[in-house]
Amino acid sequence: MGFTAAIAFLVMKTGRVSRWRAVFLVVMAWAFVVRFKAQAVGLKAGAFMTEPTQEVPYCHVALSSTILNAAYNQYLALKSGAWRQWGPLSLGFLWLVFTLALGQAWCSWVCYFGGLDEGFSRLLGRFRLRRFSLPPAVRDLPAGVLIFFAVISMTSLTPMFCLWACPIKLTTSFLDPVDAVRKAQTVILVVMAAGTLVLGPLITGKRVFCGLVCPFGAWQSLWGQVNPFRVTLDKESCTRCRLCVWACPTMAIEHGGPGHPRIIPYCNRCGECVDVCPEGAISFTLLGLPSGGQVVAGAGRSPLAELWEVRSLLVFCGLVLGGAVGGVFVPDALRTLAKALLR
């Protein structure tokens, strides 16, 4: 709680949203890894991927890629009157609450997986590729991943993304290469982790897994629209310097050719572009309505007025919900680290 409050204080004090948000997210991500890997190192039950492959992990990424299976199971539960299997009261309900409160900002403020590629994307600082952009169509890859894996998960009745493509699996369990299939899965997951969580982000400075692979990111880009938080570019103030295009870690700002850059629906409200724009032309808004522009700390506004800004509202929601999720594993991770240090 103290850590969350410190992050909120630093955001308000410095006016830099994304820098302190990233610190928060990266700490959460590594606490998650420590918590789960510490369990796995003890080789307790569940540390290996030996459970029946039909089992879907309790995970938001799995939720999106097995949504057809979940819908079918709920249909069967309803039809047979097996109310205890009525799953939306659990993970689906949590997802709804977080989506209503944060929308796509989940991926930048809460996702304890997103903090992994976010951390590596910042590690090399000025030595990474700075002016890196991809053709706009490439940014639709996660939508393709989502549709593909949702369909083959349904037809095979197994969580195919989890078993064959999700590098995050490596952070929670060990793989047990007992047969050729499991060995192939192990190799693919390791390659995916090295490329999309470590090397890609290190070299490009982008969140490669989140921006080009994660099916939940695509899912949330669709459903996140129910949430009113937006990032809005004011064309009047924009000088077309393109700094925001190069800075966006999820490649969610189109270059715009000779025109103004354009923020596309994959934006996950990280605030990096808000921080870098020298003209204050980008701001957090509610449904794109004018918010009075970017607030710069010490720019003449009273602290009370700043608290009412949309930016503060988003920071509040992000930190409260992110802190609540972190509370599930951060204390355990701290205890594990303390024990290891004192041993």
Q: Under the rule (CB under 6 A), what is the footprint of ligand SF4?
A: 231, 233, 238-244, 248, 250, 252-253, 261, 263, 267-273, 277, 279, 281-282
Minimum distance between the CB of residue 193 and ligand SF4, rounded to whole angstroms?
22
Q: Dihedral of CA 50/52/54/56: which sign? A: negative
Minimum distance between the CB of residue 171 and ligand SF4, rounded to whole angstroms?
23
Identify which of residues 12 and 263 has a Cβ nearer to ligand SF4 in the complex: 263
Identify which of residues 162 and 263 has a Cβ nearer to ligand SF4 in the complex: 263
Identify which of residues 61 and 267 has a Cβ nearer to ligand SF4 in the complex: 267
Minimum distance between the CB of residue 155 and ligand SF4, rounded to whole angstroms?
33
Minimum distance between the CB of residue 104 and ligand SF4, rounded to whole angstroms?
8
Minimum distance between the CB of residue 320 and ligand SF4, rounded to whole angstroms?
19
Identify which of residues 35 and 139 has a Cβ nearer to ligand SF4 in the complex: 139
Yes or no: say if 208 and 117 are a contact pair by the CB < 8 Å rule: yes
Q: Which residues contact residue 99 at a Cβ distance below 8 angstroms, ignoring those fewer than 6 apart?
A: 106, 220, 223, 224, 226, 227
Minimum distance between the CB of residue 110 and ligand SF4, rounded to whole angstroms?
15
Identify which of residues 116 and 277 has a Cβ nearer to ligand SF4 in the complex: 277
Identify which of residues 35 and 311 has a Cβ nearer to ligand SF4 in the complex: 311
Phi and psi at 101, nearest 5°, equal: -80, -35
Minimum distance between the CB of residue 237 and ligand SF4, rounded to whole angstroms?
7
Minimum distance between the CB of residue 309 and ligand SF4, rounded to whole angstroms?
15
Yes or no: say if 65 and 149 are a contact pair by the CB < 8 Å rule: yes
Identify which of residues 163 and 263 has a Cβ nearer to ligand SF4 in the complex: 263
Minimum distance between the CB of residue 307 and ligand SF4, rounded to whole angstroms?
21
Q: SS3 letters for the chain?
A: CHHHHHHHHHHHHHCCHHHHHHHHHHHHHHHHHHHHHHHHHCCCCCCECCCCCCCCCCCHHHHHHCHHHHHHHHHHHHHHCCHHHCHHHCHHHHHHHHHHHHHHHHHHHCCCCHHHHHHHHHHCHHHCCCCCCCCHHHHHHHHHHHHHHHHHHHHHCCCHHHHHCCCCHHHHCECCCCCHHHHHHHHHHHHHHHHHHHHHHHHHCCCHHHHHCCHHHHHHHHHHHHCCEEEEECCCCCCCCCHHHHHCCCCCEECCCCCCCEECCCCCCCCHHHHHCCCCCEEEEECCCCCCCCCCCCCCCCHHHHHCCHHHHHHHHHHHHHHHHHHHHHHHHHHHHHHHHHC
Identify which of residues 39 and 291 has a Cβ nearer to ligand SF4 in the complex: 291
Identify which of residues 34 and 244 has a Cβ nearer to ligand SF4 in the complex: 244
Phi and psi at 78, nearest 5°, equal: -65, -45
